[in-house]
Amino acid sequence: MGTMGHHQRSRSASGSPSATRSSNATELDFAAVDLECPFGGIDALGAVELRETAYEIFFMSCRSSGGAAASSPGARGGGASEGEVSSPVAGAGARGGSAVMSSKVKKALGLKPRRSAPTMVRTLSQNSGPVSPGRTRRPMTSAEIMRQQMRVTEQSDARLRRTLMRAVVGQVGKKPDSIVLPLELLRQLKPSEFTDDEEYHQWQFRQIKLLEAGLLLHPSLPLDRLHAAVLRFREVMRATEIRAIDTGKGSDAMRVLTNAVHALAWRPGSGSDACHWADGYPLNVLLYVSLLRTVFDHREPTVVLDEVDELLELIKKTWPILGVGRAVHNVCFAWVFFQQYVVTEQAEPDLASATLALLADVAADAKQGSRESQSRDPVYAKVLLSALGKMQEWSEKRLLDYHERYERGTGGTATEGMEILLSLALAAGKIVADREYAGTGNFTADRVDYYIRCSMKNIFTKILENGMGEADPANDPGVVLTRLARETEQLAMFERTNFSPLLRRLHPAPIAVAAVTLHGCFGVVLREYLGKVTILTEELVRVLHSANRLEKALAQMTAEDAADCEDDRARAVVGDMEPYEVEAVVMSLLKAWMDDRLRIGSDCLLRAKETESWIPKSKEEPFPASAIELMRLSRATIDEFSDIPATAKDDVVQALVDGLDSIFQDYISFVASCGSKQTYVPPLPALTRCNQDSGFFRLWKKAVLPSCQAPEANPRGGASQHTPRPSISRGTQRLYVRLNTLHYVLTHLQAIEEPLSSLSSASGGNRVATSVNFDRTRAAAQSAVSHVAEVAAFRLIFLDSRHSFYQGLYIRNVVDTRIRPVLRALKQNLSFLVSVLVDHAQPVAVREVMKASFQAFLMVLLAGGNDRTFTRADHGMVEEDFRSLKRAFCTCGEGLVPEDVVVQEAEAAEGVVELMARSTEHLITAFGAATSESIAGVREYEDSDGGTTHVPPTRQWGPADPNTILRVLCHRDDEAANQFLKRTFQLAKRR
């Protein structure tokens, strides 16, 4: 890094009256420079309160340690041993005498002393008026300088002196770190020493908040929040917040507070018998940083006082109280100089030079057994990573956009400010990286590489935005892109001339990195532009020519820079330049066009999912609007693709087919998302025994029921004749529209495949011709047809027709509730179904209705619930009814369901009906044989009434199924079945 200019701007603190007055000009605005404190903050204590507390701790440390700085106005600060601090900063000894000698600290940090000879003086009378002729003047003490620097009034300072003098009476030789200062101040200071009660109350509550921060909120040792002392302290704090408490010797509140504070401050756990009240992080660091800031003249913030050596020696006396060591001091001191450099608008390069000198000490500390030092001082790791991380973050934020933040150089070099921030960012980041990642890789080169890439991207973005804003609206986008290519090339040349000489000291190939980054940025814009172009035009030709010229210029810069470097990094950078491949633009345009058409299809699908109501467009077109729109878009896409005059179409035709195939399958999945047939199937009722009616009740039912029965329909017409209307609900009708939709898609697939096949055959693409099809869509549609037809059939039978079929057939007895009304309604429903469905959808729909009807008929016989019972004599009527049900499907339409299919599907039901003709004894014997042969073995299950059977439940009814036989027995209305079920399964009678 080049030598940074050192400004001759150092001076002593002045004893002028204005030095003791607080001014807005002396308060540095940290927020304005976007620099946050890395150590966080204390919510209850502001910057002024922290500064006042820091001064109190400083004063007590100097006074109690036996130094003369605080007690004798004319003395200099006494010293701790130099062996405690080995760095040139903290190890500078105190100086005495009437004149300020050359500062060792400023010399070590590269800060020049002031030019003038007179030292800091003040009048002996200590007033702020003008000095009268003949009045003697003497140098200010270090303690007086500190008071002035920390903006403490003489009144507050005098009050603090008197208080500490009373506090240390009888405590001669007591270490300052064994005194809880806020507690002592509360004991000694009385309301009479303040201007009014409100001032005293605020001061007292500040001391309580300080104790809370040090003992409860940020303790150096782990703290139990439910500790008795914590609870007692909280009670006193709540009382103090309302009004000032009595701090006299007999005060109960003061006694409770004292006991609580001592219990918390003298807790064991640190390995030594020490008092812990202000050494917890981050309170201790915030207080310590407040002290370190006093080395800068509060009236001229860029100047470091010549008395910095004495001030640091005095500040060092606070280490035991604050728990600060040499390593933590070095980090905090480096942060203070960095912060001062930033908040003074980077006007003084010497402050940055001092920061770098201090970071060298910090790096040495970090290298000397960082793990060991962390275990000894856990605060060190937090302070180190927080402060250096914030330095690196703030510096890099500027470096990531160095084209805009710094002047572009004079005489072909970068500005001094950029060089300083590079040094600061890399020095701080290197320490953190070595500690966190064991120093792997080339940190400096990696970070500079990152700065170059980010800054080039940012400046390119600004050029692009300016070009787009200034472009004539009448100009084509191609004109803007052509101009951008020219300006990008000029930017690369400017980077090589102005910034690369500085960056080359830190990176082997900065020009190559910048050129590759610009190449990639322009490539993004180029590809975005090409993504909006659908055909080749003259404008596109000009854009491609400009892009080709820019690419050659950037590639030449990259190659020349890499040729001068033997580092592998340069060759790797060259490999990062991805060619624009102008020759492949046509293929890109084709793919972009295809993606746009597929996106339109996907949007159509999305609209269908959001708005489709499954209402047919018309009677002539019983399909929903979404299906018509989707297939029309697909056919238009294929036609437009056929008209594109490109020879490379056969390379993307399969991708187009796959995209359309995916959209079709997604749409088919949407059409088929209509639930499951199980939704409509009634649950199996619990197994129970039939109630045995008495002989009197049977006679009464036989005599009464016929008169209460509804009259049969008159086949010749008349008043009693009733023609049922179709009972198909709107939900079922929408399912039929879904079936029509699926067949509509299947029908149009063939029309879409034909032009694709002819296109590939004409171009000689036999390989493509064999693969251009929608077989996956066709298979998905066939599967969806079966599913939707099945759901529609079960909804029709078990929901729409439930009153006449499942809930009406054979209720109470067979003879009075035969199947004839069911058949009339079923025929009406089938006629309506055929009128709604397209021809290709009718066979599968009717077949599924047949299956659902047979299933419903079996459930009436086997799972009909408590209202159904059967006798052996009912078999003939049931068998006749089932034949009528089969005949209804054999005669439906013109062969919609072949007779052999009806016979095949009816086999299971006919077997169950045949069981009803068997005697009860035969059924019991057949049940035993079927159970013993069951693969499942004798496995019990519990029914809804708490009884147990030895047969698992099933809906796969059949004459050899033990569950089927058992349910026939449960519905058999005779004594033998009743006794068998009671004896074998303990089934309860029906209620």
Instruction: Answer whether 382's CB lies under 8 Å from 415's CB.
Output: no
Residue appearing with tokens 């909804």: 795
- CATH 1.10.357.50 in the chain, residues? 581-679+729-762+771-799
Which DSSP string do the residues of 36-63 spell out, in sequence order?
--TT--BTTB-HHHHHHHHHHHHHHHHH
- Per DSSP, 411 falls in state T
Instruction: Answer whether 365's CB lies under 8 Å from 434's CB.
Output: no
Instruction: Answer whether 941's CB lies under 8 Å from 900's CB.
Output: no
Rounded CA-CA distance 771/456 in Å is 47
Rounded CA-CA distance 256/261 in Å is 9
Residues contacting residue 68 through CB under 8 Å, at least 6 positions apart: 75, 76, 77, 78
Q: What is the 3-state secondary structure (H, E, C) of 932-950?
A: HHCCCCCCCEECCCCCEEC
Residue 242, phi then psi, degrees to nearest 5: -80, -50
Rounded CA-CA distance 967/974 in Å is 14
Query: How many CA within 13 A on the CB side of residue 800?
Result: 25
Q: How many CB atoms lie within 10 A of CB 600?
A: 15
Per-residue pLDDT at 756: 75
Q: What is the mean pLDDT of each run of 10 residues along the chain (991 residues)?
A: 39 37 43 78 89 91 55 35 33 39 85 56 41 58 86 86 74 72 88 89 92 91 84 92 87 91 80 78 94 91 91 93 92 95 90 94 81 64 92 92 71 69 93 75 88 94 80 69 92 90 89 93 89 73 86 90 73 79 73 86 92 85 90 89 67 85 94 91 87 51 44 39 63 92 91 75 48 86 94 93 90 89 91 90 92 92 88 92 91 82 90 91 90 56 46 71 91 90 87 66
Residue 268, phi then psi, degrees to nearest 5: -75, 165
83 forms bridges with which residues in the sheet? none
Rounded CA-CA distance 863/712 in Å is 27
**Helix, strand and coil in the chain, % to nearest 5:** 60, 0, 35
Per-residue pLDDT at 532: 80
Residues contacting residue 715 through CB under 8 Å, at least 6 positions apart: 721
Task: Spell out the long-range contacts of 19-25 with Cβ–Cβ below 8 A and sequence spacing 24 or more.
Answer: 19/148, 19/298, 19/299, 20/128, 20/148, 20/151, 20/153, 20/154, 22/151, 25/299
Residue appearing with tokens 């099933």: 954
Instruction: Answer whether 302's CB lies under 8 Å from 348's CB.
Output: yes
Instruction: Answer whether 263's CB lies under 8 Å from 229's CB.
Output: yes
Instruction: Answer whether 109's CB lies under 8 Å from 6's CB.
Output: no
Find the helix packing angle between 510-532 and 477-498, rounded to 10°: 180
Residues contacting residue 269 through CB under 8 Å, at least 6 positions apart: 221, 222
Residue 469's Cβ-count burial label (10 Å; 0-12, 13-18, 19+) is exposed
Per-residue pLDDT at 214: 92
Per-residue pLDDT at 124: 35
Helical H runs in 649-729? 653-671, 695-708
Q: How many CB atoms lie within 10 A of CB 583?
A: 9
- Of 838, 640, 832, 836, residue with least CA distance to 745: 838
Helical H runs in 622-652? 625-643
Find the helix packing angle between 842-862 and 875-890, rounded to 10°: 170
Rounded CA-CA distance 755/635 in Å is 9
Per-residue pLDDT at 766: 45
Rounded CA-CA distance 106/84 in Å is 20
Residues contacting residue 369 through CB under 8 Å, at least 6 positions apart: none
Residue appearing with tokens 């011709």: 769
Per-residue pLDDT at 955: 65
**Which amino acid makes up residue 156?**
S
How far are the Cα atoms of 402, 460, 466 from residue 491, in angstroms, in the given order? Answer: 14, 8, 14
Q: What is the CATH number of domain 581-679+729-762+771-799?
A: 1.10.357.50
- Of 749, 580, 538, 739, residue with least CA distance to 663: 749
Q: Which helix (H) or strand (E) holds 755?
A: helix 730-762
Per-residue pLDDT at 33: 64
Per-residue pLDDT at 393: 93
Instruction: Answer whether 861's CB lies under 8 Å from 916's CB.
Output: yes
Rounded CA-CA distance 389/645 in Å is 59
Instruction: Answer whether 794's CB lies under 8 Å from 681's CB.
Output: yes
- Of 69, 59, 320, 278, residue with least CA distance to 164: 59
Residues contacting residue 209 through CB under 8 Å, at least 6 positions apart: 44, 45, 49, 237
Which DSSP string do the residues of 109-165 spell out, in sequence order?
TTPPPPSS----EEETT--SSPPPTT--EEEPPHHHHHHHHTT--HHHHHHHHHHHH
Instruction: Answer whether 51's CB lies under 8 Å from 149's CB.
Output: no
Rounded CA-CA distance 303/107 in Å is 14
Q: Which structure tokens are listed for 97?
A: 């005498």
Rounded CA-CA distance 5/634 in Å is 72
Predicted TM-score of the model (pTM): 0.58
- Of 603, 754, 607, 601, residue with least CA distance to 663: 601
Per-residue pLDDT at 28: 53
Q: Which structure tokens are listed for 79?
A: 């010293």
Q: Which structure tokens are listed for 130?
A: 């003008």
- Of 303, 354, 365, residue with least CA distance to 331: 365
Residues comprising the chain, all counted: 991
Instruction: Answer whether 329's CB lies under 8 Å from 285's CB.
Output: no
